Structure 1
Amino acid sequence: MSLFRTKNIDAMLAVANDDGLRKVLGPVDLILMGIGAIIGTGIFVLTGTGALTAGPALTLSFVIAGIACGLAALCYAEFASTIPVSGSIYTYSYATLGEIVAWMIGWDLVLEYGLAMSAVSVGWSAYFQSLLSGFGISLPAALTAAPGSVPGVHTVLNLPAMLILLVITWLVSYGVRESARINNLMVLIKTAVVVLFIVVGVWHVKPANWHPFAPFGASGVFNAAALVFFAFIGFDAVTSAAEEVRNPRRDLPIGIIGSLAICTVLYVIVAAIMTGIVPYAQFAGVDHPVSLALQMAGQNWVAGFVDLGAILGITTVILVMTFGQTRIVFAMSRDGLLPERLSAVHPKHSTPHVATWTVGTIFIVIAGFVPLNVLAELINIGTLAAFTLISIAVLVLRRTRPDLPRAFRCPGVPVLPLLSAAFCLFLMAHLQALTWVCFLIWLALGLAIYFLYARRNAVLHNHGGKASN
Structure 2
Amino acid sequence: MQRKKLSKTLKPHWVWAIALGSSIGWGSFVLPADWMNQAGPMGVILGLSIGAVLMAIIAISYGVLIKNYPVSGGEFAYAFLSLNRVHAYISGWFLTLGYICIVALNATAFALMLKFLLPDFIQQMKMYEVAGWDVYFTEVIIVVLLVSVFTILNIRGSGLSGRLQFIFCLILIGGVFTLTGWMASDTATSFSNLQPAFNPEVTPLAAILTIVAISPFAYVGFDNVPQAAEEFNFSSKKALSLIMFALVAAAAIYSLMIVTTALPAPWQEVAGAGLQWGTGEVVREVLGTGGVVILVAALSMGIFTGLNGFLISASRVLFAMSRGLVLPRKFSDLHPKYNTPTFAIIFAAIIAMIAPWFGRNVLGWIVGMSSVGVSIAYFYTTFTAFKMLKWSKNDPGFDETKHIVSPWRKVTAVLGMASSVGFLGLLLIPGSPAALGIESLVALIVWIVIGVVFYMIRRKDLMSHDREDLAYLILGDKKFDIQDKD
Deviates more, 1:239-248 or 1:369-378: 369-378
- In structure 1, C-alpha distance between the alignment counterparts of 2:12 and 2:378, rounded to whole Å: 23
Deviates more, 1:313-322 or 1:290-299: 290-299
- Residue of 187, 192, 198 corresponding to 2:169: 187
2:348 aligns with: 359
Could you tell me which runs of 5 or more consecutive residues in structure 2 were left unpaired when the two chains were aligned: 391-396, 429-433, 472-477
Deviates more, 1:276-285 or 1:158-167: 276-285
Amino acid at match of 1:235: F
1:3 aligns with: none
Amino acid at match of 1:33: I
Superposed, 1:12-411 pairs within 5 Å as 19-56=4-41, 57-132=43-118, 138-142=121-125, 147-148=129-130, 153=134, 155=136, 158-204=140-186, 205-214=189-198, 215=200, 216-217=202-203, 218-227=205-214, 229-281=216-268, 282-283=270-271, 284-371=273-360, 372-398=363-389, 403=400, 404=402, 410=409
Deviation at 1:439, TM superposition (A): 1.4
- In structure 2, C-alpha distance between the alignment counterparts of 1:441 and 1:73, rounded to whole Å: 30
* Deviation per residue, 1:87-116 (Å, 9 max, x gap): 011111111121111100100011110111
Deviation at 1:132, TM superposition (A): 4.2
- In structure 2, C-alpha distance between the alignment counterparts of 1:125 and 1:316, rounded to whole Å: 16
- In structure 1, C-alpha distance between the alignment counterparts of 2:182 and 2:166, rounded to whole Å: 24
Deviates more, 1:408-417 or 1:301-310: 408-417
Describe the SS at the equivalent of 2:182. Answer: helix
Pair 1:432 & 2:436 matched = yes
**Paired residue total:** 449
Runs of 4+ with deviation above 4 angstroms: 399-402, 405-409, 461-468
Superposed, 1:453-464 pairs within 5 Å as 453-457=458-462, 460-461=465-466
Amino acid at match of 1:310: L
Amino acid at match of 2:351: I
- In structure 2, C-alpha distance between the alignment counterparts of 1:267 and 1:464, rounded to whole Å: 44
RMSD, matched Cα: 2.8
Describe the SS at the equivalent of 1:330. Answer: helix
- Residue of 446, 451, 470 corresponding to 1:446: 451
> 1:336, 1:458 within 8 Å by CA — same for their partners in 2?
no
Deviation at 1:342, TM superposition (A): 0.9
- In structure 2, C-alpha distance between the alignment counterparts of 1:465 and 1:158, rounded to whole Å: 40
* Deviation per residue, 1:324-344 (Å, 9 max, x gap): 000000000001110011101
Q: Describe the shift of the 1:319–1:414 C-alpha distance in structure 2 as closer, same or farther (beyond 3 A).
A: closer
> 1:388, 1:425 within 8 Å by CA — same for their partners in 2?
no
Deviation at 1:347, TM superposition (A): 1.2
Taking only the aligned residue pairs, the percentage that are identical comes to 21
> What TM-score, normalized to structure 1?
0.87
> What TM-score, normalized to structure 2?
0.84
Q: Describe the shift of the 1:465–1:354 C-alpha distance in structure 2 as closer, same or farther (beyond 3 A).
A: closer
Could you tell me which runs of 5 or more consecutive residues in structure 1 were left unpaired when the two chains were aligned: 1-10
Deviates more, 1:452-461 or 1:41-50: 452-461
Q: Describe the shift of the 1:192–1:414 C-alpha distance in structure 2 as closer, same or farther (beyond 3 A).
A: closer
Describe the SS at the equivalent of 1:277. Answer: coil
Describe the SS at the equivalent of 1:346. Answer: coil
Deviates more, 1:38-47 or 1:112-121: 38-47
Q: Describe the shift of the 1:188–1:413 C-alpha distance in structure 2 as closer, same or farther (beyond 3 A).
A: closer
- In structure 1, C-alpha distance between the alignment counterparts of 2:389 and 2:128, rounded to whole Å: 47
- In structure 1, C-alpha distance between the alignment counterparts of 2:444 and 2:284, rounded to whole Å: 39
Deviation at 1:234, TM superposition (A): 0.8
Amino acid at match of 2:159: R
- In structure 1, C-alpha distance between the alignment counterparts of 2:420 and 2:46, rounded to whole Å: 20
Q: Describe the shift of the 1:432–1:310 C-alpha distance in structure 2 as closer, same or farther (beyond 3 A).
A: same
- In structure 2, C-alpha distance between the alignment counterparts of 1:315 and 1:226, rounded to whole Å: 25
> 1:94, 1:102 within 8 Å by CA — same for their partners in 2?
yes
> 1:104, 1:443 within 8 Å by CA — same for their partners in 2?
no
